[in-house]
Amino acid sequence: MLLNLESIPHFYKGYVKLIEETDPIQALRISGHRAQELMHSIPAAKQDFKYADDKWTIRELLCHMIDTERVFVYRALRFARNDRTPLSGFDEKLYAPESNAHGRELKSIITEMAHLRTSTIDLFASFTPEMLSRKGIANENEFSVASQGFIIAGHETHHLNVLKERYFSAWN
């Protein structure tokens, strides 16, 4: 399914531009695979590393990615089921400190991410073409179901780039 970038709310266009795939399921598979490869290369001793005092630790960043995927998957489910109720946004800055990232092992977070992505792909695979084209309102923006898949993959890709460019480069 080709995604019209013009139909993506401005804030999310940067994420979607990072995705080359034209199918949301393939985009989710590829970004998930890349994420798992990269995360398995993180030394456990670096799980609490942050490249600046006001930034998240690696564990917090990964938990943020999990939270965000869950929010966007929920939106996709609601829109696919033709639920027309406008959904509110979420403030990731309020979620991060409440994620219990510091109380979890890096390996557990990485495993959870893999399970979540499998579940996300299963849900998107259950959607018909009609369902993928359905739209809904979230955070005062209109989205299609398919756009949620591309945004999830793009958001993940964005943070993988941040990990490589800012976190990894700071300790190498």
At 81, the amino acid letter reads: R
Residues 6+ apart with CB under 8 A from 152: 28, 31, 68, 69, 72, 73, 120
The partner residues of 136 in beta bridges, in order of sequence, read 143
What are the structural domains of the chain?
A: 5-171 (1.20.120.450)
Which pLDDT belongs to residue 69?
98
Which pLDDT belongs to residue 145?
96
pLDDT digits 0-9 by tens, 70-122: 999 999 999 999 999 999 999 999 999 999 999 999 999 999 999 999 999 99
pLDDT digits 0-9 by tens, 24-81: 999 999 999 999 999 999 999 999 999 999 999 999 999 999 999 999 999 999 999 9
pLDDT at 2 over 60: no
pLDDT digits 0-9 by tens, 3-22: 677 779 999 999 999 999 99
Nearest residue to 5 via CA among 165, 18, 26, 35:
18
The answer to whether 67 and 95 have CB atoms below 8 angstroms apart is yes
pLDDT digits 0-9 by tens, 133-164: 999 999 999 999 999 999 999 999 999 999 99
What is the overall mean pLDDT for the chain?
95
pLDDT at 166 over 90: yes
Which pLDDT belongs to residue 1?
53
